[in-house]
Amino acid sequence: MRLGDGTLIEYIIDGKNRRVGRKLNGVVTNRWIYNGDLRPVAEVDSVGNIVARYVYAGKENVPEYILKSGVTYRVITDHLGSVRFVLEASTGAIVSRFDYDEYGNVTSSFDSLGRDLHKIMCLFRESGNKQLINFVDTMAKSLHRFKPFGVF
């Protein structure tokens, strides 16, 4: 995706359709490490230093906490599991807010400084004007054994 200032952001997708890397103007700047199919547990920079950790508890595919730059953030979801707020855990201050339409499309996403997060939020992957959200389709998993390449 090309931003208004000409910056090119690309994402590297693996064979399981997970975002595993990010390129900024053709240079890999970030990578994500997964535990299982849908749970990124760490983000590393271009040389392998951990820059963020994702802590899971009760929710399957959304972290309860994000530890980044020495700050702990709490992720608040709605009844559908969509991220609504990211709070600074120590103060309760709202760091990010996400609003959705009736079809689950992000309609606005802003951080505490008013910057648009729609294009950079790590829990979603951009695909043109849509948000692709990873989930496990149990029916497709059971059908996978009948289709050796998992192509439907």
Per-residue pLDDT of the chain (152 residues; tens, 9 = 90+): 888 888 899 999 999 888 899 999 999 999 999 988 788 899 999 999 999 999 999 887 889 999 998 999 999 988 888 889 999 999 999 888 888 888 888 888 776 655 545 444 444 434 444 444 444 444 444 444 444 444 44
pLDDT at 103: 86
Collapsing DSSP to helix, strand or coil, 88 comes out as strand
pLDDT at 69: 87
Name the phi and psi angles at 12, rounded to 5: -95, 125
User: Based on the number of CB atoms within 10 Å of its own CB, is 98 exposed (0-12), middle (13-18) or buried (19 or more)?
Assistant: buried
pLDDT at 105: 84
Asked if 64 and 49 touch (Cβ cutoff 8 Å), the reply is: no
pLDDT at 34: 92
Cα–Cα distance measured from residue 132 to residue 38, given in angstroms and rounded to the nearest whole number = 13
pLDDT at 112: 62
Backbone region of residue 51 per phi and psi (left: phi > 0; alpha: psi in -120 to 50; beta: other values): alpha
pLDDT at 113: 53
pLDDT at 53: 94
